[in-house]
Amino acid sequence: MAEPVPKSVLFVCLGNICRSPIAEAVFRKLVTDQKLSDHVTKEDFATFDYILCMDESNLRDLNRKSNQIKNCKAKIELLGSYDPQNQLIIEDPYYGNESDFETVYQQCVRCCKAFLEKAR
């Protein structure tokens, strides 16, 4: 069996203060040496294999930005597209309560595990 090719992943949400840090923390727990950027840079499109967004607004914005990058190698997707429970959007828990953060955490665990299984 061939050794899996390492993947680099960037998680993105509106403020990068709730959902994407949770997703990244879950992902870091499952694998090491990942990076979280406060803002997506032009270099990120050429550096990362995947940019995983939390909602459709992030996806739309990043797809628009990627069209301006000559050497874009990143596959831009919704992290929720990997959710075995088909919860496509990872809702922002910022204005919610503690249980909303737990919901985001559980969804990120499911999605990251499924992503890693697919990436093997």
Query: Block means of pLDDT (10 residues each) for the chain, length 120 residues?
Result: 60 85 82 52 90 92 91 95 97 92 95 89
Which one of 13, 18, 72, 108 is the catalytic residue? 13
pTM exceeds 0.85 = no
CB-CB neighbours of 20 under 10 Å = 26
* Residue 92 falls in the annotated catalytic set: yes
* Residue 53 falls in the annotated catalytic set: no
* Residue 13 falls in the annotated catalytic set: yes
Is 52 in contact with 25 (CB distance < 8 Å)?
no
pLDDT (0 to 100) of residue 6: 56
Burial 36-63 (b: 16+ CB within 10 A, else e): bbeebeeebbebbebbbbbbeebbeebe
Which one of 49, 61, 92, 100 is the catalytic residue? 92
User: Which letter does DSSP use for residue 51 in this model?
Assistant: E
Which one of 19, 55, 111, 112 is the catalytic residue? 19
pLDDT (0 to 100) of residue 31: 60
Enclosing H/E stretch for 66: helix 56-66
